[in-house]
Structure 1
Amino acid sequence: MFSHSDLGRVRFAILPFQETLKAARGLGLPKPPPGLASWRHVSRAALPAVARPVVTLCSAHTWHLPDFLTPQPSADLMSFEDELHAALDDPSAPVQRDTAAFTGVLKTVPVVVDTLLHHPDRGRRTLRQAFTAFHQAVLAPDWPRLHAQLAADVAYRARLMAQHGLDAMLATLCPPHVRWEYPHLTVTGPGAPDFALGGRGLVLVPSMFLTDGVHRQLNDRQQPMLFYPARTAGAYWRDGGGRGWPDGRLAGAIGERKASVLRALADRPGCGTTDLATALGVTPATASTHVANLRRAGLVATTRVARTARHDLTPLGLHLLDAHIG
């Protein structure tokens, strides 16, 4: 529940460690979240044995994790290592208390959870090693493209809030999983009593791996957080998650024709495929192919409005255009 002071304390964050948690969850759940089946097939083959405790922990319950794994994000940009340190190296973190609360929602308690409960220092060392291995093997090669999509989501919602106000941004945050009617932000998921934000505001965190709902982090020791699916996740995973370029980043994506697509989208933000094709003098099918290639490289974000695909440059696409193409 929001108060008037909470409305002025809503902010966004992009959190690579939290995205690692969501990726491990998506890899370990019995049924893959929407869009992640192909990604799971590739990522499971790349997963080292040392990283398996992370997958077990993050998929032990569909919606819950121990609270200490989601520390308060700072106001500055946080790296994976920054977040990992905040989660696992803080001696004041109530690891045993949070883990005990977590076991209360589990049908069976995995070994990694039991170790955290009875030998918290050893459990944290095991998780630090496992998270580092998981991130390096599964997430780090794709992070530039993933970050571009997350940044595009934040930029879009910041523009929406600047142009139409906070109400408009919250009302369109993540239907049908989130509903806004002041002073209540109602979310789907496990039932919970009303939670008053108490003047602390809310941190909104987009995720590319949380494609089946929203997660919330609500406790009395930190600013409340809401994790929600990034609006471009559907198109991104339909493209194969950006995989397929020889160097994993921009190889094969940029030529004169694709540079023309970037310029056209810079001039026409939110442009549809047909309008883009007209601007380029090509067929809609050709325009769609060019956009898909740029989307795989993390340069374009696509969303659907009714039956129309709308395309925008990501911050990475804008940077590339400014720095190298003009």
Structure 2
Amino acid sequence: MPRLVFSDSDLGRVRFAILPFQETLKAARGLGLPKPPPGLAAWRHASRAGLPAAARPVVTLCSAHTRHLPDFLTPQPANDPMSFEDELHAALDDPSVPVQQDTAAFAGVLETVPVVVHTLLHHPDRGRRTLRHAFTAFHQAVLAADWPRLHAQLAADVAYRARLAAQHGLDAMLATLCPPHVRWEYPHLGFDGPSAPDFALGGRGLVLVPSMFLTDGVHRQLNDRQQPMLFYPARTAGAFWRDTGGRGWPDGRLAGAIGERRAAVLRALADRPGCGTTDLATALGVTPATASTHVANLRRAGLVVTTRVARTARHELTPLGRHLLDAHIG
């Protein structure tokens, strides 16, 4: 199991990031792998039907290897939130980024070098233009409409882990990051992957990035020019894909999700974060089956997340759910 080695100063530089362009990479990987990652089969079937030809180079590139991508596609995340366009610009438009060097290293781990990689190696400017067009087409066709729901799940994951670290310490947060794929025992954070020498963070800390499409393990981005990064499955990804099968509300909007009864569910969960289905039903004066149906609809809209503790389902609002409650329902 590869391991990251923390110093005390690294522990003070652990942070989270939500990165829409990186989710695009993970989605393209999930769409192109021969075998779908857990939970993504229905989403793949729905997404492939509407995939434009212009987006196919992205799928080919991102699924050429199960764990690796050229490093230039994962730029250093800023401290402020980044849009898809911000990340795309940082990845493809910075002339100082060693595109050919990174692509050559990537090609070295491939059994077969696809055309898009060959173009990046020998005609990097043309290759970047092709990728810019392909990534934009892929994002618009596959992710853009559903991004509000996906972002709500990712934000809920970050908020949960931030609360855990604040209440119980960074040790507790790292120890529960992504079992069984990640193991924490100070000063080592081990993760699934081929054997490799320990990687010392060297005072740079670590960026933790949740993903809704990386459901089969963790990925890492480790090089000498940026802060190390670890991508891990968001804690609600399994339930999210079971609920929606990749087919959410039209255009990712909240249409159909909110009525007076569901607004009451949001109010109840705001007052009782983490409550179970039976307790929620009692508070609302409905049957547990009715409460479960309402929660499922709100979960599909990205307003509620559900996790299991032993055999009990625990429900809480996402940041989007809290915002909707504060701004429109009260």
Give the alignment's TM-score, normalised by structure 2. 0.97
1:324 to 1:78, Cα distance in 2 relative to 1, 3 A: same
The secondary structure found in structure 2 opposite 1:239 is helix
Give, in angstroms, the shift of residue 191 of structure 1. 2.3
Contiguous gaps of at least 5 residues in structure 2: none
Work out which of the residue numbers 61, 79, 82 in structure 2 matches 1:57. 61
Contiguous gaps of at least 5 residues in structure 1: none
Residue by residue, what CA displacement relative to the aligned partner does 1:165-194 show, whole Å, maximum 9, x if unpaired?
A: 100000000000000000000000232210
1:99, 1:116 within 8 Å by CA — same for their partners in 2?
Answer: yes
1:319 to 1:273, Cα distance in 2 relative to 1, 3 A: same
1:242, 1:295 within 8 Å by CA — same for their partners in 2?
Answer: no
Tell me: higher relative CO, structure 1 or 2? Use CA pairs within 8 A at least 6 residues apart. 2
Question: Which deviates the most, 238-247 or 206-215?
Answer: 238-247
Given the alignment of the two structures, is residue 286 of structure 1 paired with residue 290 of structure 2, yes or no?
A: yes
2:147, 2:252 within 8 Å by CA — same for their partners in 1?
Answer: no
Give, in angstroms, the shift of residue 242 of structure 1. 6.4
Residue by residue, what CA displacement relative to the aligned partner does 1:122-180 show, whole Å, maximum 9, x if unpaired?
A: 11110000000000110000000000000000000000000001000000000000000
Q: Partners in 2 of 1:292 and 1:249 — Cα distance?
A: 16
Give, in angstroms, the shift of residue 244 of structure 1. 4.3
Given the alignment of the two structures, is residue 36 of structure 1 paired with residue 36 of structure 2, yes or no?
A: no
Residue correspondence of structure 1 range 162-201 to structure 2 within 5 A: 162-201=166-205
1:233 to 1:275, Cα distance in 2 relative to 1, 3 A: same
Residue correspondence of structure 1 range 1-326 to structure 2 within 5 A: 1-241=5-245, 243-326=247-330
The secondary structure found in structure 1 opposite 2:43 is helix
2:40, 2:246 within 8 Å by CA — same for their partners in 1?
Answer: no
1:242, 1:296 within 8 Å by CA — same for their partners in 2?
Answer: no
1:246 to 1:87, Cα distance in 2 relative to 1, 3 A: closer
Q: Partners in 2 of 1:237 and 1:28 — Cα distance?
A: 18
Give, in angstroms, the shift of residue 248 of structure 1. 3.2
Give the alignment's TM-score, normalised by structure 1. 0.98
Runs of 4+ in structure 1 displaced over 6 angstroms?
Answer: none
User: What is the Cα-based RMSD across aligned positions, in Å?
Assistant: 0.9
Give, in angstroms, the shift of residue 284 of structure 1. 1.2
Give, in angstroms, the shift of residue 289 of structure 1. 0.5
Residue by residue, what CA displacement relative to the aligned partner does 1:17-66 show, whole Å, maximum 9, x if unpaired?
A: 00000000000000000110010011001110000000000000000000
Q: Partners in 2 of 1:242 and 1:54 — Cα distance?
A: 20
Residue by residue, what CA displacement relative to the aligned partner does 1:70-121 show, whole Å, maximum 9, x if unpaired?
A: 0000101100000000000011111111111111111100000111111111
Q: Partners in 2 of 1:18 and 1:244 — Cα distance?
A: 21
Q: Partners in 2 of 1:208 and 1:106 — Cα distance?
A: 25
1:241, 1:296 within 8 Å by CA — same for their partners in 2?
Answer: no
Residue identity over aligned pairs, in percent, reads 91
Residue by residue, what CA displacement relative to the aligned partner does 1:267-308 show, whole Å, maximum 9, x if unpaired?
A: 111111111111111111111110000001110011112221
Give, in angstroms, the shift of residue 245 of structure 1. 2.7
2:43, 2:246 within 8 Å by CA — same for their partners in 1?
Answer: no
1:71, 1:87 within 8 Å by CA — same for their partners in 2?
Answer: yes
1:214, 1:229 within 8 Å by CA — same for their partners in 2?
Answer: yes
The secondary structure found in structure 2 opposite 1:247 is helix
Aligned residues: 326
1:210, 1:229 within 8 Å by CA — same for their partners in 2?
Answer: yes
Give, in angstroms, the shift of residue 233 of structure 1. 0.5
Give, in angstroms, the shift of residue 247 of structure 1. 4.7
Question: Which deviates the most, 117-126 or 238-247?
Answer: 238-247
1:243, 1:296 within 8 Å by CA — same for their partners in 2?
Answer: no
2:33, 2:63 within 8 Å by CA — same for their partners in 1?
Answer: yes
Give, in angstroms, the shift of residue 241 of structure 1. 4.9
Give, in angstroms, the shift of residue 243 of structure 1. 2.8
Q: Partners in 1 of 2:105 and 2:250 — Cα distance?
A: 45
Question: Which deviates the most, 272-281 or 225-234?
Answer: 272-281
Q: Partners in 2 of 1:241 and 1:271 — Cα distance?
A: 25
2:178, 2:233 within 8 Å by CA — same for their partners in 1?
Answer: yes
Q: Partners in 1 of 2:271 and 2:74 — Cα distance?
A: 39
The secondary structure found in structure 1 opposite 2:199 is coil
Q: Partners in 2 of 1:140 and 1:110 — Cα distance?
A: 27
Q: Partners in 2 of 1:190 and 1:66 — Cα distance?
A: 18
Question: Which deviates the most, 25-34 or 280-289?
Answer: 280-289
1:242 to 1:27, Cα distance in 2 relative to 1, 3 A: closer
Q: Partners in 2 of 1:229 and 1:97 — Cα distance?
A: 29
2:181, 2:217 within 8 Å by CA — same for their partners in 1?
Answer: yes
